[in-house]
Amino acid sequence: MIALLEARGAGLLAPAHWPANIMAGIIVGVVALPLAMAFAIASGVRPEQGLYTAIVAGAIVALFGGSRVQIAGPTGAFIVILSNIVAHHGVTGLQIATLMAGLMLVLLGLLRLGGAIRLIPGPVILGFTAGIGVIIWVGQWQAFFGLPEVSGDRFHQKLLALLAHLPQLNPATTAIGMASLILVLLPEHVRRLRRVPGPLLALVAMTLLQAWADLAGVATLGSVFGEIPRGLPSPQWLPLTSERLLGLLGPAFSIAMLGAIESLLSARVADEMAGTRHHSNQELIGQGLANIVSPLFGGIAATGAIARTATNIRSGGNSPIAGLIHAATLVLVLLALAPLASHIPLAVLAAILFMVAWNMSQVRLVVRMLTRGARADAAIMLLTLLLTVFVDLVVAVGAGVAVSMLPRWLPRLLRQTR
């Protein structure tokens, strides 16, 4: 609770600061609504599970994290790992792996290893985030174009299958996807709409259109997942067995490592924007507690969300109150608007994830590093990116870190072998 105590010591919990933090929390909650559902569906679970994650993890990280402005919840970075776990171990397996990852994160924080996570080289981080962006983008073609479901364990298999099925696209679904993409990007180019979140604009407009027109062949949350339940579910303990725990050790480690990297990266960005200083070990403990509790309420893995944290700061949030209000806003949405969610077209959520994938890919930085950066950095970034897309995220990060250390350790090894 370091961040909460620091906010109290700085006087930020005084009533004078409540209006700004309440407004920031409401804005972030509105922004998180479509993102949480989109990330959940892309991860292979039901849309409300993304909302459960944002509510539970958002509140716990606000109370127990190491940054007083951090907003936590499901993120795009997790999609690749989580969807793979669901495919091989089911949703229950994912939730057990998330709980195990939470315990690992708490242990990392207690062992004061938060600083070690930050030593991962920049080209490695750029490479794996760009690779994840590519996977997310291709993974949403089916929902965006209304294509038949394709199979394949590897990225290239799915890509080839999707390309083969492109002529079978559904015109109405594709039109909704294209219109949604335009609306997602519109506020960036229209001054009067600057304060309107693009994802929310697309979500509301296309949902109303589908509810009114009932376009044939357009997949919606209702047609695919049924009705969204109102409110949070009661906590349920997970069926833990020694066999399951051993089988999920690797996936849990992947979730923990990516969660640690993502949350500390988000906290660092928040420090630069807000002039604060986060506590990395406490941040890991807070994220760990969030991932322990989230699956007990039907949620999935969570970490610090850079875009939502930045939105919080830009909207005036400067204390954990904003994070708590963000969670409360999503609870109110679940209670009041859940029945209306059945008309949300999946193509809208796919368009939102297209934007997320573009932002994660950081195309300009990738091109700059390839054309103007040091050759070694460019090679490390490209290696990490390709391994992320075609092999595995953990392998990619491990290989990238190992290769980046070669210039430092190779001379020593050569001297020792003489």
The yes-or-no verdict on residue 99 having pLDDT over 60 is yes
Average pLDDT over residues 12-23: 93
72 beta partners: 304
**Structure confidence at residue 170 as a pLDDT band (50, 70, 90):** very high
The string of pLDDT tens digits covering residues 229-245 is: 988 899 999 999 999 99
Two structure tokens written together for 10: 């700085």
CB 43 within 8 A of CB 136: no
Burial (0-12, 13-18, 19+ Cβ within 10 Å), 246? exposed
Q: Residue 416 has what pLDDT? A: 60
The yes-or-no verdict on residue 387 having pLDDT over 80 is yes
| pLDDT > 70 in the chain, percent | 97
The yes-or-no verdict on residue 19 having pLDDT over 90 is yes
CB 155 within 8 A of CB 138: yes
Two structure tokens written together for 146: 């209304």
Alpha helix (H) ranges present in 10-46? 18-42
Higher-pLDDT residue of 41 and 404 is 41
The yes-or-no verdict on residue 120 having pLDDT over 90 is no
Contacts of 364 by beta carbon, 8 Å cutoff, 6+ apart: none
Higher-pLDDT residue of 100 and 191 is 100
Q: Residue 8 has what pLDDT? A: 85
Contacts of 355 by beta carbon, 8 Å cutoff, 6+ apart: 181, 184, 185, 198, 199
CB 177 within 8 A of CB 216: no
Q: Residue 152 has what pLDDT? A: 76
Domain count, the chain: 1
Residue the block writes with tokens 């696209």: 169
How far is Cα 60 from Cα 64, in angstroms, rounded to an integer?
6
The string of pLDDT tens digits covering residues 182-196 is: 999 999 888 888 888
Domain that holds residue 186: 3-414
How far is Cα 47 from Cα 194, in angstroms, rounded to an integer?
27
